[in-house]
Structure 1
């Protein structure tokens, strides 16, 4: 039986690969990204893609309407979209900090809140965090806004698992190590990560379909290196 999957941040990197993995396995996907063209250009059947900005309050209504009119329920939500800023803390303005948090924290919270009423006891919310957001992990200068925002969604996941534990819906968060994506290249030009976007997407694909049988309210560190 195909499932109904919503994925954010699908125009490139891990999200772009995830959409294709789910589509090829016969699942229905709603792919959300500010730039919907890369997914639309793939012409995948059972994939719907429209422009969606996590910072736009009106955009959430579009998602709600789509689910109501087409699906009625959602099995998996993958909060994958992220904003990465690499800048010395002394030069990071409040508005830059806010921009990162709006995507990485507020957007995750709001989309989850909008989708939850359509979920049932076997549904799974998977949020993509970063090793930099894990307490006690190796930290890097320049990532004050990014890594602290990724720490926030780890705790948010734990809180939601507790608040919704009677519902049977599972909430888990994956802290990824370095993955070779366009976002990483933009922030750290020339750095070569040990893991490709497709390799990581394959792990997340499997985890989102099966991980809720074993985990709820858990942080899993998905990294084969330090960092």
Structure 2
């Protein structure tokens, strides 16, 4: 049975692959990204691509309007969009932190809050975090804003599972290790990750559709390497 899926951060990397996997499997997808063109160019049926910025308050109305007009419910939300900043802490300003947190934390929070009322039965919210956000994991200089923002959404996920435990909804977070994406290249130039964007997308695809049967309020570390 086809499901209604919302994915953020779909212009490249894992999000771009996810849209194609869900579309191929016959699901309806709302793809959200600041740059909607890469998905539009694929011309996939069952896929709508909206230009959307998680840090722009007015953009959330676009999402509400789309869901209300086209779908009767949302089955899966994948909070995949993320902003990376690699900068020595001594140079990282309050504006830098605000910029990163606006997308990686506040954006995840607001998108989830907007979508929850449309989730009727067995809805699953999957948030993509990073191994750098996991307490006790290996940390890297320059990623203070990024990794701490990824830690914040891990705790947020646990809190949402608790707050909505009387409902049918599930909230889980995946802390990804190194995946060969443009974002990894920006953080660790020249590093070759053991996992491709498509391989990771295939894992997330399956988890988004089935993980809520086994997990709620859980952090899963999806990593076979350091970083």
TM-score by length of 2: 0.99
Query: Conserved in 2, the CA contact under 8 Å of 1:21 and 1:205?
Result: yes
* Residue 54 (structure 1) shift: 0.2
* Aligned length in residues: 227
2:55 aligned partner: 55
Note the aligned Cα RMSD (angstroms).
0.6
Query: Conserved in 2, the CA contact under 8 Å of 1:120 and 1:167?
Result: no
Structure 1 gaps, min length 5: none
Taking the aligned partners of 1:130 and 1:182, their CA distance within structure 2 comes to 15
Taking the aligned partners of 1:167 and 1:18, their CA distance within structure 2 comes to 27
Taking the aligned partners of 2:219 and 2:120, their CA distance within structure 1 comes to 22
Of the structure 1 ranges 15-24 and 217-226, higher mean CA displacement relative to structure 2 is found in 217-226
1:68 aligned partner: 68
2:78 aligned partner: 78
Once the two structures are superposed, what CA deviation does each residue of 1:76-112 show, in whole Å capped at 9, x if it has no partner?
Answer: 0000000011110001111011100000000000000
TM-score by length of 1: 0.99
Query: Conserved in 1, the CA contact under 8 Å of 2:31 and 2:39?
Result: yes
* Residue 184 (structure 1) shift: 1.1
1:10 aligned partner: 10
- Runs of 4+ aligned residues of structure 1 deviating over 4 Å after TM superposition are none
2:89 aligned partner: 89
2:202 aligned partner: 202
Structure 2 gaps, min length 5: none
* Residue 72 (structure 1) shift: 2.0
